[in-house]
Amino acid sequence: MNRVARITITLFLLLSGVFVHAQVDSLVEALRKYQSGDLNGARTLLDDVVNSPRQGTNPEAWLLRGFVYKDLYKDTGAGVEADVLRDEAIGSLYTCVSLDSVGTYSENAKQAYDYLARTYFNDAARALNELRAEDAETLFHKYRSAVLRMDPKAPLQAREIEFKNALGTVYTKQFIKDRAQLDRFQKAVDTYLEVLAMDPDNYGANYNLATLYFNRGVFNIRAITADDEIPTILEVQVAAKEFFQAALPYMLKAHDLNPKRRETLMGLEGIYYSLQEQADADKFRRLFEELPPDGTED
């Protein structure tokens, strides 16, 4: 599908009769350049057109500018330049909708706007896969802001929970890779807590947060060497116990949400054992052993 088929504004230009002749000529010329594939030429003209006193409130001009910048973005590889082009495109399309009081151009503008908003989310997901946590957060924030700007009542909570659970996993992986990066640990904790603030019964966030705390305690103990002095060892053991205690309520919650998950039964056995509460550790070991051999889970 060519660019002309993606935008239906040619006829509208012929119907406009309230603009200064030179301004109309500039808008028409920008359309011609757009149709011929000269995106940069169209961009230069449209930047001037939308900044002119009369055309600055013309939704038609903003629509064309949005499409020009959208196509420039699509033709540009990933990077800072592409990000700027996309931001300009989505801003222009939103301005078009805001100015289009009779709805002449809104359908075209919203379709292009929705497409660009989705690219923010797709890029955020790609950043997560590449373990680029901060980039993913920035892109998801842009996605969320774009969607809510066009539709303040858009139901985004489920998608936000899904994203933040994945983001917490990325921060956890970064921390495991380098235990000295305690900021990664804290970011993972904070991210899972954000999920639980939205959905206290989220199994994944409860289990992952419990596991994160528990593993932090185990690592502290395993880091003790024969050369450590007695006071240091005691301090580490106390600190480890605090992490085990922090893990317990979240693992219990995960167990309550799905009592037949093997992972939570093993997790609770490990936490209680680490807290030297053997009776409770044995209890969850028995529950684990009583599960059907095939490991059937809800």
Whether domain 1-154 has CATH 1.25.40: the reply is yes
Cα→Cα distances 282→218, 241, 250, 255, Å: 19, 19, 19, 16
* Residue 4 confidence class, pLDDT cut points 50, 70, 90: very low
Q: How far apart are CA 193 and CA 191, in angstroms?
A: 5
Q: What is the pLDDT of residue 234?
A: 55
Stretch 18-41: mean pLDDT, rounded? 77
Q: Is 150's pLDDT higher than 90?
A: yes
Closest CA to 221 of 209, 210, 232: 232
Mean pLDDT of the 20-32 span: 71
Nearest to residue 240, comparing CAs of 212, 224, 217? 217
Task: Kindly tell me if the per-residue pLDDT of 17 is higher than 70.
Answer: no
Quick one: DSSP state of residue 31? Answer: H
pLDDT 10s digits, 170-208: 999 999 998 888 899 999 999 999 999 999 999 999 999
Q: Domain 197-298 adopts which CATH fold?
A: 1.25.40
CA angle, residues 161, 86, 65, in degrees to nearest 5: 135
End-to-end CA distance of the chain: 47
For residue 151, report the phi and psi dihedrals to the nearest 5 degrees.
-140, 90
Confidence grade of residue 18 (pLDDT, cut at 50, 70, 90): very low
Average pLDDT, rounded, for the chain: 86
The sign of the CA dihedral 242, 280, 200, 290 is positive
pLDDT at 224: 56
CA–CA gap between residue 234 and residue 165 (Å, rounded): 34
Beta carbons within 10 angstroms of residue 248's beta carbon: 21
- For the entire predicted model, the pTM comes to 0.81
For 185, the token pair is: 């640990």
Band of pLDDT at residue 16, cut at 50, 70 and 90: very low
Please tell me what DSSP assigns to residue 164.
H
Residue 104 confidence (pLDDT) above 50: yes
What is the signed CA dihedral for 214, 135, 90, 51, rounded to 10 degrees? 140
Question: What pLDDT score was predicted for residue 228?
Answer: 52
Residue 166 or residue 294, greater confidence: 166
pLDDT band at 6 (very low <50, low <70, confident <90, very high): very low
In the numeric block, the tokens 């929970």 are attached to: 161
pLDDT of 31 strictly over 50: yes
* Coil, strand or helix at 155: coil
Residues of the chain with CATH 1.25.40: 1-154, 197-298
**Are 205 and 168 contacting, i.e. CB atoms less than 8 angstroms apart?**
yes
Q: What does the pLDDT read at residue 221?
A: 66
Is the CB of residue 26 less than 8 Å from the CB of residue 49?
yes
Q: Is the pLDDT of residue 41 over 60?
A: yes
Query: Tens of pLDDT along 73-92?
Result: 999 877 899 999 999 999 99
> Residue 85 burial (CB < 10 Å; 0-12/13-18/19+)?
buried
